[in-house]
Amino acid sequence: EAKRLGRNTIVCYTSDFHQQAHYRLMLASRLHRALENEEFSLQYQPQICLATGRVIGVEALLRWECPDLAPVSATEFIPILEETGLIVPVGTWVLQQACCQAVAWQRAGMVSLRLSVNISALQFQRGDLAETVRQILAESGLDPALLCLELTESMLMIDTAHAQQKLQELRDLGVSLSLDDFGTGYSSLAYLSRLPVQELKVDRSFIHRLHTTPSDTAVVNTIIAMAQELGLELIAEGVETEEQKQHLLARGCTTIQGFLFSRSLAPEKFAEFIDQGLSDGG
Ligand code: C2E
Ligand code: MG
Ligand code: MG
Ligand code: MG
């Protein structure tokens, strides 16, 4: 088979690989200065309660605008922040920025929304995340009950006993914990039931294939049933169609997030979105 594909295929692949590696190195060097150059910003995506149609929460999502590059997506630059360790200081900045924004919105009279912030494995493993969060809550004045940290299964599996303790320290601050991209990892039900998390977030890949791949429909239905059994909140991300929404509603999923309602928005746009009464479901 390799012979039939011929030499060019391999040459092509190799140069492609080198180009990619070169591009990533270039991004990494740009990212080293991005924080001090104030090239990062946050966008906010609403989370909607299916029963009432109201916005009940918001997820902060990191954006990077490098003056001499075309826009680079989060899925592309965040892995590089993780590989280089830059995600630790950048992640702290994200927490500070998002908490201050949430407090500013409250002071401006906006209805209190729960704020979800993504935490990377490195932030969780290294340093003292609980102490960082405690300080940021104190400095910003945000009610801990309004902060939700989004973690992923894989980062909790590495050292279970230690992870449990770290999670409990975070819980003791009064913040809530969510398992992001749920369904893509290998968590067992027994393991999950012991974690002090309050919410599961169904990965958007399952929602995307909800009506095209029967096995994904089964996965989504099972996760919804499981969340109900374990008494966990459930949020479906990446909801793009009315058909997906109706399926989730019928199965008893409580909250959704996705382009059907809104993309992520710059802070001013997000405030307008809430003001326009879209939070009342109309
Ligand atoms: P995530 O935490 O699972 O965030 C949801 C992603 O799905 C976001 O992509 C969001 O824009 C996208 N999304 C939401 N609704 C839809 C939809 O209806 N259709 C589609 N196709 N996509 C939708 P984004 O902003 O590109 O972020 C990608 C990932 O990067 C995030 O996935 C998260 O893992 C990571 N990330 C983003 N911001 C941060 C951050 O501040 N810190 C860390 N550690 N990771 C972050
Ligand atoms: Mg997330
Ligand atoms: Mg996710
Ligand atoms: Mg993700």
Distance 253 CA to ligand 2 centre (A): 17
CA atoms within 13 A on the CB side of 244: 26
Atom of ligand 1 at shortest distance to CA of 264?
11
Ligand 1 neighbour 240 (Cβ under 6 A): yes
> What is the model's pLDDT at position 185?
79
Q: What distance in Å separates the CA atoms of residue 267 and residue 260, rounded to the nearest whole number? A: 19
- Give me the helix-helix angle, 74-84 and 87-107, nearest 10°: 130
Q: Which two tokens stand for residue 63?
A: 């954006």
R_g of the chain, CA atoms, integer Å:
20
Phi-psi bin for 84: left (phi > 0), alpha (psi -120 to 50), beta? alpha
Q: Which residue has the higher pLDDT, 228 or 15?
A: 228
State the pLDDT confidence band at 126, using cuts at 50, 70 and 90: confident
With the most atoms of ligand 1 within 8 angstroms of its CB, the residue from 88, 237, 270 to mutate is: 237
Ligand 1 neighbour 57 (Cβ under 6 A): no
| pLDDT at residue 10 tops 60 | no
The residue type found at 222 is T
- Residue having the nearest C-alpha atom to atom 5 of ligand 1: 237
- Residue having the nearest C-alpha atom to atom 29 of ligand 1: 75
**Strand-pair partners of 176:** 148
Averaged pLDDT, 26-50: 97
pTM: 0.93
- Give me the helix-helix angle, 87-107 and 129-140, nearest 10°: 30
Closest CA to 89 of 25, 40, 140, 143: 40
Averaged pLDDT, 178-202: 87
> What is the model's pLDDT at position 189?
76
**Strand-pair partners of 256:** 48, 236
Q: What distance in Å separates the CA atoms of residue 26 and residue 20, rounded to the nearest whole number? A: 10
| pLDDT at residue 244 tops 90 | yes
**Strand-pair partners of 118:** 150
Distance 178 CA to ligand 2 centre (A): 9
